[in-house]
Chains A and B, each alone.
Chain A
């Protein structure tokens, strides 16, 4: 294979880096696009389109056009239209943009095709919006401190509830695939890049634009539907609901393309020796998630576009008086909504099963069973959605089928637990902070899963549906599962990604405080649900005040734990910057065999992988790379 010389462009000086295509230009052009679109919309919206009496000044067409042109302006400012336009003129395909280290810090504020840069952009972006969503949660819990005194008022409260849910669901679906899979998947399969590197950067920036769109709901009066956006309540709402539509539509696009990219990468770009049975389990987790991400979000986008048409063109998809149906929205939404929550759960499985072998010093137990579990969960997730609709009056005679399918999905989930348990058996277990988060994952997801079985039983669900029991269930699976696995992954891989060590003491405090506070927050919610407290309510019977206050106090403690984590990040990564060892966990996987810092091209020679993905405890431990590798 002949070597290819790669030239590196000269570095641009100082303030000149601010000019040109980057996020700052994007924001400027985005604002311009908003005003242009809004202006065009006010010209279009005339008498002929007035059907319902409208609030003075609410012009949904102007708002949607404003959002549309605003996002377009943002993308233009970032430079996303340059390459497509060049291709229209017939320029040949090219795959790299602004990858060289000579571009410096500006790479992180621009369209950069280096997958490691995109992963770090995601890391900060996801972290920021996760914090904002968490702040919303603290405000929700503050409102619920007293049933008779309203800190924020019913209107703001419902918007907070909706923003918290939407932000968390929209952000954390890319929460692991964005920062971690983008960094690890190419490296783990022996590639230098993701398949479509510009699309990879696009998924990040469009997600950031979406989040900003969501926050603009506050300008337009908020939305009162919660993250599920039920119609026809949404159609009733003031303009803030348009922000919700815009947010989730863009999130849907981001998710679809992210899934598309990961599948294309893993299927076609595996280095020699990386067969399907050799794939690290983390990559299997990413792959099964990606399959769901490719197929489910387009339905969400279609549903939201229907809602947009209802609000602007006066169509009647969801307006019962004119031929539409609220059931249509529920079915369409949950057909997306259920795979969505497995998009949240599956990457967590991948992280935990990837880390347990390292900290037990044993191969992954039941590798094929684990893969079957992940693929089984992904496949079955499309067949269970009506369990959200058990008492809705939809198709009541198919409820036994959905009860069965939902119960069945606990089988492949059980495989994941079995493989985790088998990996620990007779291991030489080292309890590091990432390992503690993995153990906590198992504990939390256990309760999340069992409460799911309660919900899947229709008679039991008659009481728990729409109550705080369901809230506890999904917070245990999503936060107790995904977020804990996310932190396991951060503590495990961030030292390699960034090159600096975390402070061990702060990390341990973060873990224990978070684990205790998390269970203290969401455990009592099971009780509140069993006692009959509905969801999304701004008041409750006085007898439930003690439990609600306990929950709120524990929630503030979660925030404290997260602040400790933030302090750790600032102390370790900004102030102290103690270099991390190259392989702090003594892992036998390829990412820890790379040079420090990891170069743009990952490895000088395409790796050839040895057949064993988890070579622990074997006589001659085979390295991950039989040849090739870092410099």
Chain B
């Protein structure tokens, strides 16, 4: 049967300082790491500030880190401390500890604090999401439309994904198509992302936009560009053999430069644009062929 286990006699003196020690260590850890991460890394948090939506995500990440660091610090500090303070130093000894089965006060405060944190984060995230869409794909009827869309009609850019290339089409400029995304600075862009075959995902990391491309679906995402920059577009949803190679570069250029570029594209490709299928929010090419 089990070895002799005498009921534990609590070896600590009546008033000890374990709780105080844990709290102090936790405050120290939070005080060091929270500012360290928020101030040192904070401004450089992904995905950067190359668009209004990307900047919004940076703010979200800052808040999340601000909350996560103290929570993580609490758990780590606690575990480290109890493993040091309450460790049985002599491996031969098998003595029971005090039969503490619970503590209603602790449970109540834990539940109250964690619930508050969770509700705060959910509310904060919702407010931030509804403010400008956060660059995420919202489907054919978006509800999180940036306010500037009412004053200034956004530039519509259709992103047509296929295996294994993105094509960008400008419906307001005669349906001109290009493989290299070119966008004007300081403009609200309304992406319409769709696919010709399987599920892809249009991800421009620096612009903070990601919208899945589904066949037969028009997925709308908003990005408000700021200054000129270059960015990379990756496919973010496994789409077959060359998914890893489905990336390309894009640019945000000053408005005037974009205007002259797109006018020149319209002129150059006018004969071709006439014979392309008319602009539609979704396309249904012939059924899938078996392939790799």
Whether a CB of chain A sits under 8 angstroms from the CB of B170 is no
Most B CB contacts (10 A, CB to CB) among A53, A325, A530, A617 go to A617
Q: Is A369 an interface residue (CB 8 A)?
A: yes
Contacts A232-B288, A393-B211, A426-B100 given; indicate if A457 touches B198 (C-beta within 8 A): no
Contact A224 B5 (CB under 8 A): no
CB neighbours of B126 from chain A (8 A): 400, 403-404
**Does B157 sit within 8 A of A, measured CB to CB?**
no
- In the complex the two chains form, is B60's CB within 8 Å of A459's CB? yes
Pairwise interchain contact B217-A393, C-beta atoms closer than 8 A: yes
Whether the pair A365, B238 counts as a contact (CB closer than 8 A) is: no
Complex contact B8–A617 (CB within 8 A):
yes
Give Cα A319–Cα B47 distance, bound, in whole angstroms: 35
B166-187: which have CB < 8 Å to A?
none
CA distance A426 to B85 in the complex (A): 8
Whether A538 is near chain B, meaning CB under 8 Å from some CB there, is yes
Q: How many residues of B contact A (CB 8 A)?
A: 110
Q: A236-B198, A460-B57, A466-B201 are in contact. Are A155 and B292 (CB under 8 A)?
A: yes
B139 interfacial contact with A, CB 8 Å: yes
Least Cβ–Cβ distance between B251 and chain A, in angstroms? 17
Contacting residues, chain A, for B128 (C-beta < 8 A): 459
Expressed in whole angstroms, the minimum distance between the Cβ of B128 and any Cβ of chain A is 5
Q: Is B75 an interface residue when CB atoms closer than 8 A count as contact?
A: yes
A462 touches B243 (CB 8 A): no
Across the interface, A55 reaches (CB within 8 A) one of B45, B137, B290, namely B290
- Report the minimal beta-carbon distance from B74 to chain A, rounded to whole angstroms: 9
Please choose the segment from B29-37, B108-116, B261-269 that sits at the chain A interface, where 4 or more of its residues have CB less than 8 A away. B108-116
* Nearest A residue to B201, CB-CB: A466
- Besides A393-B139, A454-B64, A540-B244, 14 other CB < 8 A contacts? A221-B292, A326-B217, A393-B214, A403-B122, A408-B118, A427-B86, A430-B88, A430-B91, A458-B129, A534-B203, A534-B236, A583-B3, A618-B7, A618-B99
What are 10 residue pairs bridging A and B, where the CB atoms are less than 8 Å apart in the complex? Answer: A233-B199, A326-B217, A362-B96, A393-B137, A408-B122, A411-B115, A418-B107, A424-B86, A428-B86, A617-B7
| Least Cβ–Cβ distance between A323 and chain B, in angstroms | 10
Q: Which of A441-485 contact B (CB under 8 A)?
A: 442-443, 446-447, 450, 453-454, 456-463, 465-467
The 5 closest A-B pairs by CB, nearest first: A537-B244, A393-B219, A466-B236, A459-B134, A617-B99
Q: Which residues of A contact B217 (CB under 8 A)?
A: 320, 326-327, 393
Among A297-305, A568-576, A586-594, the stretch that binds chain B is A586-594
A407 partner, pick from B95, B110, B122, B208, beta carbons under 8 A = B122
* Total contacting residues, chain A, CB less than 8 A: 110
Which residues of A are in contact with B by a Cβ distance under 8 Å? 51-55, 58, 154-155, 158, 221, 224-226, 228, 230, 232-233, 235-238, 319-322, 325-327, 330, 360-369, 390-397, 399-400, 403-404, 407-408, 410-411, 414, 417-418, 421-422, 424-431, 439, 442-443, 446-447, 450, 453-454, 456-463, 465-467, 530-532, 534-541, 583, 586-588, 592-593, 616-619, 621, 623
| Residue from A421, A531, A619 whose CB has the most chain B CB atoms within 10 Å | A421
Chain B residues with CB under 8 A of A446: 72, 75-76
Pick the contact of B241 from A154, A363, A391 — CB < 8 Å?
A: A154
How far is B288's CA from A236's CA once the two chains are assembled, in angstroms? 7
- Asked if A414 contacts B134 (CB within 8 A), the reply is no
Residue pair B7, A621 in contact (C-beta under 8 Å): yes
> Is there contact, CB below 8 Å, between A369 and B107?
yes
Cβ A319 vs Cβ B129 within 8 A = no
Q: Are B242's CB and A154's CB within 8 A? A: yes
Asked if B79 and A439 sit within 8 Å, CB to CB, the answer is: yes
In the complex the two chains form, what is the Cα distance from A213 to B78 in whole Å?
47
A321 to B237, CA, bound (A): 20
Residues of A within 8 A of B214 (CB): 320, 326-327, 392-393
Would you call A462 and B57 a contact (CB within 8 A)? yes
- Give Cα A237–Cα B163 distance, bound, in whole angstroms: 13
Tell whether, in the assembled complex, residue A320 and residue B244 are in contact, meaning their CB atoms are under 8 Å apart: no
- B271 interface contact, C-beta 8 A: no
Task: Note all chain B residues with C-beta closer than 8 A to A326.
Answer: 198-199, 214-217
Within 8 Å CB of B57, what residues of A?
A: 459-460, 462-463
Q: Please name all residues of chain A whose beta carbon is closer than 8 Å to the beta carbon of B221 when the two chains form the complex.
A: 391
- Whether B136 pairs with A458 at a CB distance below 8 angstroms is yes
B13 at the interface (CB under 8 A from A): no
Contact B95 A463 (CB under 8 A): no
Contact residues in A for B2 (Cβ distance below 8 Å): 583, 586-588, 592-593, 623
| CB-based contact A362/B100 at 8 Å | yes
Q: Does B25 contact A (CB under 8 A)?
A: no
B284 to chain A, nearest CB (A): 5
Contacts of A540 in B (CB 8 A): 244
0/1 string, B90-103, CB within 8 A of A gives 1: 01011111111111
- On chain A, the residues within 8 Å of B211 by CB distance are 391, 393
Contacts of B232 in A (CB 8 A): 532, 541
How far, in Å, is B43 (CB) from chain A's closest CB?
14
Q: Is B250 part of the contact surface with A, judged by Cβ < 8 Å? A: no
Q: Which listed residue, A325, A327, A369, A453, touches B102 by the CB 8 Å rule?
A: A369
CB of B149 within 8 Å of the partner chain: no
Give A319 to B110 CA distance when docked, in angstroms.
49
Please tell me if the beta carbons of A392 and B212 are within 8 angstroms of each other in the complex. yes
Whether B212 contacts A391 by the Cβ 8 Å rule is yes
Is the C-beta of B205 less than 8 angstroms from some C-beta in chain A?
yes
How many Å lie between the Cα of A233 and that of B220 in the bound state?
A: 22
Q: Which one, B98, B102, B103, B234, contacts A617 given CB within 8 A?
A: B98
Of listed A155, A394, A619, residue having the most chain B CB within 10 A: A394
Chain A minimum-CB-distance residue to B128: A459
In this complex, what residue of B is CB-closest to A454? Answer: B64
Determine if B27 is an interface residue (Cβ-Cβ < 8 Å). no
B112 to chain A, nearest CB (A): 11
Question: Assuming A366-B107, A465-B236, is B78 touching A421 (CB within 8 A)?
Answer: yes
B197 at the interface (CB under 8 A from A): yes
- Mark B204-232 against chain A: 1 for CB-CB distance below 8 A, else 0: 01001111101111111100000000001
B7 to chain A, nearest CB (A): 6
Q: Is the CB of A319 within 8 A of B107?
A: no
Determine the chain B residues whose CB is within 8 A of the CB of A421 once the complex forms: 75, 78-79, 82
A431 to B57, CA, bound (A): 42
- Residue B24 is within 8 A (CB to CB) of chain A in the complex: no
Q: A233 near B238 (CB under 8 angstroms)?
A: yes
In residues 44-91 of chain B, which contact A (Cβ within 8 Å)? 45-47, 53, 56-57, 60-61, 64, 68, 71-72, 75-76, 78-79, 82-83, 86-88, 91
Asked whether B278 is an interface residue with its Cβ less than 8 Å from the other chain, the reply is no
With both beta carbons as reference points, the residue of chain B lying nearest to A582 in the complex is identified as B1
B121 proximal to A (CB < 8 A): yes
Smallest CB gap from A397: residue in B: B143
> Is B47 a contact of A361 with CB atoms below 8 Å?
no
Contact present for A404 and B122 (CB under 8 Å): yes
B61, A54: Cβ atoms under 8 Å? no
